A = this chain, B = another copy of it.
Amino acid sequence: MSIKEQLIQKVNNKTKPLGSLGILEDIAIQIGEIQQTLSPELKDPVILVFAGDHGLTEENVSFFPKEVTFQMVMNFLNGGAAINVFCKQNNIDIKVIDAGVDYDFKNMPGLIHSKVGFCTKNMLKEPAMSYEECILAMKKGATLVQNEFNNQSNVIGFGEMGIGNTSAAALLMSKFTKQEIENCVGPGTGLDAKGVNHKTQVLKKVAKKYKNLETPLDILSAMGGFEIAMMTGAMLEAAKLKMTLLIDGFIATSALLSAQALNPEIVKNCIFCHQSMEPGHQEMLKHFGVKAILNNGLRLGEGTGAALAYPLILAAVNFLNEMASFDDAGVSNA
């Protein structure tokens, strides 16, 4: 029997009606397959929160001003953001990374200094990143994941903060899933209908400018962001190291689209934690052919969907390891 068949048998012998733990059964089997064991463990969970600024904010595509990226990084370091609260509650380590925030943090303690630049370029005028910057961001992301792996972690989530990054994510989505910009754009942190309309017009111009780009790295360089590219590199490395990847919302999934273009197998290691209210996210999940664990109207980013879904993922592993079988418990299996 394959490991998958053995896992299915183990799940089906637990003292419960067949299939009655729903998606938790799928997750237990998936993690068993990732780890190639009938008794998987989730060790030292960590969420990396990548922060970066976007030159495209010059075009008024976001509800909040660009300074909020820096301000929220300070909030993360002070433990006051949603992701801090949820990680603390669920015993998840959190690492905050300056991937490319438009602020000189100097030697700020608590922050991982991994800056590729102070802000991406205005992609309406020129590519957001040079090819070299994009590669550098990805390499830095890979190194960060290697560090977590070396610290014994085998489950890793990816969060982000970057005013303007729903624009970059929408453009990547449009390119990688071959959808019209209109299907990819949403209100982000809170644009009204007029704002969404303006954002759509701007993004259509950007998409037109780069319509001939074809390779994943050219696309990611032109329309991504420092935090998205770093996350892409981090995801690719995590899959290579056979870790379990916790995929958050719209931005994180746009990084996964980029990663998938470079390694289609990556999806086997991914658990889709929640479906964001940002309208494009539902279409992204359709692209991957998956249903997310949570669907609770969240659209906050930071990795909060991953942090909130984590106890359910842990519950999947725990029932597989800890529940009695029909034989063990002397329960009649009909």
Contact surface of A with B, Cβ cutoff 8 Å: 14-24, 63-65, 67-68, 71-72, 74-75, 78, 80-82, 84-86, 88-90, 188-190, 277, 293-300, 304, 308, 311-312, 314-315, 318-319, 322-324, 328-332, 334
| Given the contacts A322-B85, A323-B85, A22 and B332 also touching, CB distance less than 8 Å | no
Give Cα distance in the complex from A311 to B151, angstroms: 26
Give Cα distance in the complex from A15 to B161, angstroms: 12
Which of these, B65, B308, B318, B322, contacts A315 with CB under 8 Å?
B308
| Given the contacts A78-B324, A319-B82, A324-B80, A17 and B190 also touching, CB distance less than 8 Å | yes
Q: Other CB < 8 Å A-B pairs besides A16-B81, A71-B331, A84-B322, 20 of them?
A: A15-B72, A17-B189, A19-B299, A20-B299, A22-B299, A23-B296, A65-B332, A68-B331, A71-B330, A74-B330, A75-B331, A80-B323, A86-B318, A88-B318, A89-B314, A89-B315, A308-B311, A308-B312, A308-B315, A311-B311
Task: For A294, list chain B residues within 8 Å (CB).
Answer: 294, 312
Q: Is the CB of B22 within 8 A of A298?
A: yes
When C-beta atoms are compared, the residue in chain B nearest to A324 turns out to be B80
| Given the contacts A311-B311, A315-B308, A299 and B82 also touching, CB distance less than 8 Å | no
Q: Chain B nearest CB: distance from A26 CB in Å?
A: 9
Which of A81, A296, A322 gathers the greatest number of chain B CB atoms within 10 Å? A296
| Given the contacts A71-B329, A75-B329, A332-B65, A296 and B82 also touching, CB distance less than 8 Å | no
Task: For A190, list chain B residues within 8 Å (CB).
Answer: 17-18, 334
Copies in the complex: 2
| Given the contacts A67-B332, A332-B64, A334-B64, A297 and B23 also touching, CB distance less than 8 Å | yes
Q: Chain B nearest CB: distance from A159 CB in Å?
A: 13
Q: Is the CB of B78 within 8 A of A329?
A: yes
Q: Chain B nearest CB: distance from A181 CB in Å?
A: 22
Q: Is the CB of A299 within 8 A of B74?
A: no
Q: Is the CB of B20 within 8 A of A300?
A: yes
Q: Is the CB of B277 within 8 A of A22?
A: yes
Task: For A21, list chain B residues within 8 Å (CB).
Answer: 82, 298, 300, 304
Q: Is the CB of B20 within 8 A of A298?
A: yes
Q: Chain B nearest CB: distance from A90 CB in Å?
A: 6
Q: Is the CB of B85 within 8 A of A318?
A: yes
Task: For A308, list chain B residues within 8 Å (CB).
Answer: 24, 311-312, 315
Q: Is the CB of A22 within 8 A of B297?
A: yes
Give Cα distance in the complex from A323 to B82, angstroms: 6
Q: Is the CB of A311 within 8 A of B89?
A: yes
Task: For A188, list chain B residues within 8 Å (CB).
Answer: 17
Give Cα distance in the complex from A323 to B189, angstroms: 18
Which of these, B74, B86, B189, contacts A329 with CB under 8 Å?
B74
Q: Chain B nearest CB: distance from A82 CB in Å?
A: 6
